[in-house]
Structure 1
Amino acid sequence: MLTLASKLKRDDGLKGSRASATASDSTRRVSVRDRLLVKEVAELEANLPCTCKVHFPDPNKLHRFQLTVTPDEGYYQGGKFQFETEVPDAYNMVPPKVRCLTRMWHPNITETGEICLRTSSGG
């Protein structure tokens, strides 16, 4: 599934076998975001509850994925809710953007699917 991970390993192996850096090496660099996502996506898939499924439309773009949540209890039990997540280039300093693709009523989700998560500082 993590084809980007295998690509990173292969690229690291190629870098180690070269004696000097060439101009083409700079074009093959992987962003900090993508390096972080390789590890975080593996953790996500390992720890995802059975009521959630993650889907990567393009396995080489770990920064864009869809999450389907099917709650088995509570007010939303029996529903199927789809979310689209895009992780920006400045990830780890800038949070991912999540949008709800399923129309629903929730105090933190607008009619257009934008998700508003405000954090309050304690003082």
Structure 2
Amino acid sequence: MLTLASKLKRDDGLKGSRTAATASDSTRRVSVRDKLLVKGTCKVHFPDPNKLHCFQLTVTPGFFCFVLCFLIDEGYYQGGKFQFETEVPDAYNMVPPKVKCLTKIWHPNITETGEICLSLLREHSIDGTGWAPTRTLKDVVWGLNSLFTDLLNFDDPLNIEAAEHHLRDKEDFRNKVDDYIKRYAR
């Protein structure tokens, strides 16, 4: 199984020999942050090794997510394992990959049937943060992972019922999320 942490480590080994002398401190800080973000939280699985354009991503909000979530008071999804099915179309990178959540989840930005509200997965977005040919699959992975932390958005929900539930009763919302994790995300 390919993990993002091992991929980042391998990529850093290749880049490190070429760019160590020229990399700025801010680039290193971003790199460290990105490593912490995905370390132990995302794994890629290819159900059919002959179809590299179709893969599953497992996002497991972990310690870093817990720390970040604690800071923004949204640590609802820690402990769950959430499966996403990704298909990279023939027209990639001019169009975004198609992503669906396979795990039933109670989330304001993911419906119970798996549709995802993440602007970078849109070909066109009003705010200019939609898909662009310069985006990569790494951006998609970070975006999906961030749906459990800093991109968790109750103000512009796809699952309106979940967002309203959170607005009405945060404790009951947390209980329902916990119930979904126990039933569907272990």
Contact 1:4 1:60 survives alignment (8 Å) = no
Distance in 1 of aligned mates of 2:78 and 2:26: 49
Aligned length: 106
The structure whose Rg is larger is 1
Greater share of helix: 2
Structure 1 residue 2 corresponds to structure 2 residue 2: yes
Q: Give the unaligned 5+ runs of structure 2.
A: 62-72, 118-185
Give TM-score, length-normalised by structure 2.
0.34
Shift of 1:23: 47
Name whichever of 71-80 and 94-103 sits farther off: 71-80
Shift of 1:74: 2.4
Contact 2:109 2:116 survives alignment (8 Å) = yes
Pair 1:95–1:34, CA change in 2 (3 A): farther
Task: Give the secondary structure class of the aligned counterpart of 2:5.
Answer: helix
In structure 2, the residue matched to 1:120 is: none
Pair 1:75–1:61, CA change in 2 (3 A): same
Task: Give the secondary structure class of the aligned counterpart of 2:58.
Answer: strand
Greater share of strand: 1
Pair 1:74–1:7, CA change in 2 (3 A): closer
Contact 2:3 2:44 survives alignment (8 Å) = no
Root-mean-square deviation (CA), in Å?
11.1
Name the % identity: 92
Query: After the TM superposition, which segments of 4 or more aligned residues of structure 1 sit over 6 Å from their partners?
Result: 1-39
Contact 2:47 2:55 survives alignment (8 Å) = yes
Give TM-score, length-normalised by structure 1.
0.50
Contact 1:63 1:86 survives alignment (8 Å) = yes
Higher relative contact order (CA 8 A, sep 6+): 2
